[in-house]
Amino acid sequence: MNPMLNIAIRAARKAGNIIAKGYELAPQDTQVSNKGTNDYVTSVDKAAEEAIIEVIRKSYPEHAIVGEESGVIAGENNDIQWVIDPLDGTTNFVKRFPHFSVSIAIRVNGRTEVGVVYDPIRNELFTAVRGEGAKLNEFRLRIDNERRDLNGSVLATGFPFKVAKHRNAHLNMIEALMNNGVADFRRTGSAALDLAYVASGRIDGYFEIGLKPWDSAAGDLIAREAGALVTNFVGGTDYLKSGNIVAGNGRVVKEILNSIQPTLTDELKA
């Protein structure tokens, strides 16, 4: 096995165990604080991130780390960067809604080489290595390639609950997509799992405004290695930078882009 994948899996499972234990505790045993409006961080997010960093540091002390809770930790070799979200779905965790994940991506010279997304509640480990495909536990993943258009499709999305300025645009996108045949939407609360669910054919497509690299870098590779097309809102590839992301099979992505095109504000076209 790819040695960096091995360490990423070890780190994800360790963080996952911390999250699963934290989930079993009485809610008052977890400290919750606000980073901004509707934006929570808990003592479990922090403990999980510390555990991941410790595992990485033991094997690769020279690599850089970008963590949602710790920011950038430079290393001697900043060409290799671990991009980590210790708990993707903190709102679900706080509400005791059992759907969240650990997300770890390894990027080398700006290209994602390894992606791991781990759901500790279902014990589902999604992994991908660039050029080697994607897996759910030991099974190879393939997206649903049968779907030719949006009619009857089920898409996932995330509401811009932390950032108000894109709310209207997002509602307009939903309306446009339903008018073009989308049957229903899922708002699961974990962007990393949304991308992993595209990879496993559990949803037909996914779009969201304004993600951070730690939300999407691992799930992006898993989706692409399972055969998905991932783009920004105008078909470009800078979605890790803008955070505006669309994923699905090629035909579904094309239909999503065509549907949302008239709703895009200038900012969302970038």
Binding region for ligand IPD (CB under 6 A) = 68, 85, 88-91, 158, 189-191, 208, 211, 215
Question: What distance in Å separates the CA atoms of residue 142 and residue 224, rounded to the nearest whole number?
Answer: 10
* The entry of Ca ion, ligand IPD, none that residue 255 binds, CB within 5 to 8 Å by partner kind: none
Query: Which residue lies nearer to ligand IPD by CB, 60 or 210?
Result: 210
Is the CB of residue 173 less than 8 Å from the CB of residue 261? no
Single residue of 88, 208, 225, 255 touching Ca ion by CB under 5 A:
88
Strand 71-73: give its sheet, edge to edge: 71-73, 63-67, 77-88, 101-108, 111-119, 124-129, 133-136, 139-140
Min CB(72)–Ca ion separation in Å: 16
Closest CA to 112 of 251, 254, 213: 213
User: Which residue is at the shortest CB distance from ligand IPD?
Assistant: 158
Min CB(32)–ligand IPD separation in Å: 12
Q: Locate 22 and state its tokens.
A: 């934290």
Stretch that binds Ca ion, among 15-23, 47-55, 82-90, 231-239 (CB under 5 A): 82-90
The sign of the torsion formed by the CA atoms of 159, 165, 169, 171 equals positive
Q: Is 68 annotated among the ligand-binding residues?
A: yes
Single residue of 49, 113, 204, 215 touching Ca ion by CB under 5 A:
215
> Which amino acid is present at 65?
I
Min CB(70)–Ca ion separation in Å: 12
* Binding site per annotation, positions for Mg(2+): 68, 85, 87-88, 215
